[in-house]
Chains A and B, each alone.
Chain A
Amino acid sequence: MKYTEGSEIHDTKAPAGPIEERWEKRKFSAKLVNPANKRKLTVIVVGTGLAGGSAAATLGELGYNVKSFCYQDTPRRAHSIAAQGGINAAKNYRGDGDSIYRLFYDTVKGGDFRARESNVYRLAQVSVNIIDQAVAQGVPFAREYGGLLDTRSFGGAQVSRTFYARGQTGQQLLLGAYQALERQIAAGTVTMHTRHEMLDVIVADGRARGVIVRDMVTGEIERHLADAVVLATGGYGNVFFLSTNAKGCNTTAIWRAHERGAYFANPCYTQIHPTCIPVSGEYQSKLTLMSESLRNDGRVWVPLRKNDTRAPGDIPDDERDYYLERIYPAFGNLVPRDIASRAAKNVCDEGRGVGPGGLGVYLDFRDAINRLGRDAVEKKYGNLFEMYERITGENPYDVPMRIYPAVHYTMGGLWVDYDLQSTIPGLFVIGEANFSDHGANRLGASALMQGLADGYFVLPTTIGDYLAAGPFGDVDDAAIAEAEVKVRNKIDRLLSVNGTRTPDSFHRELGKLMWDYCGMERTEESLRKALERIPELREEFWQNVKVTGTAEELNQVLERAGRVADFFDLAELMCLDALIRTESCGGHFRAESQDADGEALRDDEHFAHVSAWEFSPSGEPVLHKEPLEYEYVKMTQRSYK
C-alpha cells in the first residue's frame, strides 16, 4: 500500500502556559452561548456509552436540542456496561501520596510517551469531578465501614486510586449516565433514536451538519441535520473478530467520517489485555476478560519444563516459573498490561504454555486461599470465579485459572484537537472513538475516566465555543443527497453479490490474519504479508459474500456485512501504520525493535509523534505527523523491573 507524507500538525489548540492553568484558560476563553440561543441549536450525539450518554445528557441539561442515536434497543446497553475493574481519580482519599500530578505522570509514562501532555493533565484534573458527579447520581461505589468510598490499585500504579463497584463499575457508571439521559428525554431536550445505525456524516460547506442513519427495524434510510455532530461510537477492536468487545462494536461511524475527511490517528495502537479466558474452539464468538484486579492476589506461572502435561496440582513449586515475579520484582504480577501480555506470549512461544494448543498460562489462587482463606477470596472475587466456571466448566478454587492475552481496547481513533474537534469543523469525537489521551498503551481504569471526562466536562465547554457562531443555517441539499445515495449504493451492492460465504466467515478470516500478522508482535515481514492478503480477501468479499433478506426489514446479516466491509479498509490502514512505525511502544511490539533483554525498544528520535492519516479516494493515504513534546515528564525508557 502506497502513501504520501503531508504537512505536519503543529497547532493542537491547547493553550500555552503552565500546564496546571491550561484548562482553566481554555474554559475562560471559550465563547458562551446564551440560553435563548441554545434552544435554537441542534447537536447530534451518536453513541450512548459513557462518553455519548454523559455528553447527550449534559448538552440537554444545558438547553441544547439534542438528538441521540445508538444501535442497541436501549441506551443502557452500550458496550461501556461491560467494564469490570474500576475508574481512576486523583482524589487522594487514602493519603497515599496521590495527586493530580501523579495521575498525570503515571498516565503519560504508562502510555509510553505517545500521549499529549496537555490533554492528559486535564484528564487528571477532571477525574476528581467525575467521582463527585457519579456519587451524586447514586452510583453505588464500594464503601468502607465508615461510609466513605473504598479504592483499590490497578496495573501500572503504586497508589490506590481506583474507585469500583464490585466487578460492575462500567454498568453502574453507565446506569448513572443513562438515567441522566432518560431524565432529559422526559424533559424533551433529548430525542432518542434506538436501533438506529449511523452510516455517514453529512458535510456541507466544510462543516459537519448531520448524519445518515438506517432504522434497523424498518430499514428506512433517514437524514438528521444539526449544527454540530458528536461521535461517541467506541473502539474498533472487533477488527480482530475475537476480542473482549461486545459483538456489535464496530468501526463504521468513525471510518465513514474518515472517508469524509476526518484524520485517523495511530490506527495500529491496539491494547492486548493479559488476563482473558483462552480461545477454546473455532466456533467461538468472543473472548471474555477476567478483571485485572485478580492479579492483586492471583499468581501467574507456567511449568519450568517445556510440554509439561502434568496437572497443575502435580507440579511442585520448584518446577514452576512465576515469571512475572522473577523478571519484574518491583511490580510483580501487577506490571502494566502490555508487559504482562508479552511475557505470557514469550513463555508460550517457548513451548511452556498450558491448556489446549499451549496457549495459556496459569493464574493461581492457591497461595491466596491458603493465606486469606477461601471465604475471603470468595468475597473479593466470587463473581469472577463463577463467570470463569460458567464458561470453562472448571472450578478455579480447585484448579488454577487458565488465561491468555486478548485484544481489548484501541488507543487509535479519529484525530481530535484539544477541544475534541476532528479535522472536519463541527465534528467532535469523544471516548474510545478518538485517539487522544492514552498514548500507545492504556493503563487500567482510565478509559471510563476519559469517556466521562469528555462527556460530562470537556465537550460541553468546547462545543459551546464552536456553536457560539451558529446556528449555521440551511444545509445544502446536494450534500445531503450525495451522502444518502452513497449509503444506499453500499447497501444495494452488498445485497446484490449473492455469493457463497457468510459475512462472519470473512470477518473470522480477517480477524485471524490481523491477530497473526498485526497482533501482539509484528514484524516487517508479517505486516507486508498482511498488506498483500487484505486486499485479496476484500476483493473476494465483494465478489462472494452472501447477504440474505432485503434492505427494508430487520436484517442482521446486512448489518454485519456493512461493518465487515469497513473493517477491511481499516485493517489495511492499521497494517500500514504499524509497518511504518519501526519502533516498539506500548501495545505495539515490533520484533525488530527490542533490547538485549527482549524488552520493547522505543525510538523517540524518529517516532515521538502522532501519525494522523488523511483519507484519499485514490487509495494513497496521506500521513500527517503531529510532533509530541514533553515539557513536564522527562522521556525515559519505561522500566518496571
Chain B
Amino acid sequence: MNLTLRVWRQSGPSDDGRMVTYKVEDVSPDMSFLEMLDVLNERLILEGDDPIAFDHDCREGICGMCGMVINGVAHGEQRATTTCQLHMRHFEDGATITIEPWRAAPFPVVKDLVVDRSAFDRIIQAGGFVSVPAGSAPDAHSVPVRKEDADAAFDAATCIGCGACVAACPNGSASLFTAAKITHLSLLPQGQPERLSRAKAMVDQMDAEGFGGCTNTGECTAVCPKGIPLETIARMNSDYLKANAK
C-alpha cells in the first residue's frame, strides 16, 4: 500500500507545531499502525531528519501508553481498539491519514505525538486506592464477593488510563477515566470504608487539574478501547453527591 501521512510535528511544549506531509510506500496490510510509523521513522533517521516521537510500550493494547488521534478519532475509527492494535488492513491503498496528539489543556504536548498525562496519576493520588499496608491483610476467602459485583467491578477496572476519553470529549473531561476508577473500588466490599471520601477527593482533583465538565455527549465511551460504559459516570456522580451531602 502507498499512503500519504499528515503528521503533527512539535519540537517541544513551547513550539507552535504544524502539520507535515510524508509519503510512505510498501506498507503491508498486516502491519500495525505503529509498525507503519516505525518504517517511516527508520527512513527519516537515515535521511538525517528527526523521527516522529510517539509513546508506546506493550504494543498489545494493555499498557495504555500509545495514543494518537487518527483522522480525527482518538485511536482511529475502529471501535474498541488501541492504536497499537490497529492494523493497516483497515485502510485503503492511496489513502491520506491525519495523525495528531491527544489535545486537551491538562495534557500538554511534550513532543510531536507525546503528551503529558500525569494529571491522571494525581487523580489517583487524591484517593484512588484502598488503604491497606502490606502484610496485614486477612485471608482472601474471609470476604466473599458476589460474582455479579466482582464482574461489574472488573469491567470498570479494565480502564488502561490511555486518555482517549479526554481527547475525544468536546469539553476535555476526564469523567470516564475517573468514574471507571471510582466504580471499580466502590463495587467491592474492600472499597466501602473510603467510598465517599474517595469519590469526593478524586472528582475534586479532576476539576483542579483543569479537565472540563461532563455534559453526557458520550464521545468518550465511543472511543474507549476498553468499552467503559457511560453508567460509570452516573455512579460517580451519585457517590459524589452523597459525599457532599454528608
Contact = CB atoms under 8 A, between A and B. Distances in A.
B111 A58 contact: no
Contacts of A32: none
A72 B89 contact: no
A248 B55 CA distance: 10
B145 A136 contact: no
B29 to A, nearest CB: 8
Nearest to A393: B89
Contacts of B111: 553-554
B39 interface: yes
Contact of A548 (B34, B45, B160): B45
Interface in A233-285: 246-248, 280-281, 283-285
Interface string B49-62: 11101011111111
Contacts of A54: 134
Interface string A176-196: 001110110110000010100
B135 A183 contact: no
Given A140-B153, A146-B144, A58 B118 contact: no
B1 interface: no
A487 B56 CA distance: 25
Nearest to B155: A140
Contacts of B129: 137, 179-180, 182-183
Contact of A138 (B31, B51, B64, B130): B130
Interface stretch (B184-192, B214-222, B235-243): B184-192
Contacts of A281: 28, 30-31
Interface string B140-165: 11011111001101100110110000
A546 interface: yes
Contact of B63 (A61, A77, A456, A557): A77
Interface in A370-413: 387, 390-393
Interface stretch (A112-120, A499-507, A601-609): A499-507
Contact of A61 (B60, B64, B134, B185): B134
B89 to A, nearest CB: 6
Given A77-B63, A147-B144, A281-B28, A132 B57 contact: no
Given A135-B140, A391-B87, A546 B134 contact: no
A91 B141 CA distance: 10
A556 B53 CA distance: 7
Contacts of A77: 57-58, 63-65, 161
B110 A548 contact: no
B12 interface: yes
A637 interface: no
Nearest to A186: B125
Chain B interface size, under 10 / 10 to 19 / 20 to 34 / 35 or more: 35 or more
A132 B137 contact: yes
B140 A457 contact: no
A178 B129 CA distance: 9
Interface in A551-573: 553-554, 556-557
Contacts of B153: 138, 140
A493 B44 CA distance: 21
Nearest to B133: A61
Interface string A68-85: 000011111101011000
A495 to B, nearest CB: 13
Contact of A132 (B35, B139, B158): B139
A549 B143 contact: no
Interface residues of A, number: 80
Contacts of B85: 387, 390-391
A217 interface: yes
A518 to B, nearest CB: 24
Nearest to A144: B147
Contacts of A393: 29-30, 87, 89
Most chain-B CB neighbours within 10 Å: which of A82, A131, A192, A505?
A82
B130 A247 contact: no
A328 interface: no
Interface stretch (A164-172, A293-301, A416-424, A578-586): A164-172
Given A138-B130, A283-B28, A457-B134, A149 B110 contact: no
A557 B45 CA distance: 8
Nearest to B146: A147
Contacts of B110: 217, 554
Given A73-B118, A135-B143, A390-B81, A179 B48 contact: no
B117 interface: yes
Contacts of A28: none
A132 B138 contact: yes
B134 A172 contact: no
B234 interface: no
B147 A137 contact: no
B25 interface: no
B245 interface: no
A165 B154 contact: yes
A286 B158 contact: no
Contact of A82 (B63, B131, B157): B63
Interface string A535-550: 0000000000010110
A515 interface: no
B62 A81 contact: yes
A171 B130 contact: no
Contacts of A331: none
A182 B49 CA distance: 38
Nearest to B39: A283
Contacts of B58: 77, 79, 81-82, 246-247
Most chain-B CB neighbours within 10 Å: which of A136, A194, A457?
A136
Contact of B38 (A61, A285, A553): A285
Q: Which 6 A-B pairs have the closest CB atoms?
A: A147-B144, A179-B129, A136-B137, A132-B137, A186-B125, A135-B140
14 contacts: A73-B65, A74-B117, A79-B57, A81-B63, A82-B58, A138-B191, A140-B150, A140-B157, A143-B146, A182-B125, A217-B110, A393-B87, A548-B49, A553-B111
Given A179-B124, A281-B28, 11 more contacts: A54-B134, A58-B133, A77-B58, A77-B64, A81-B62, A82-B60, A141-B140, A180-B129, A247-B59, A286-B59, A288-B59
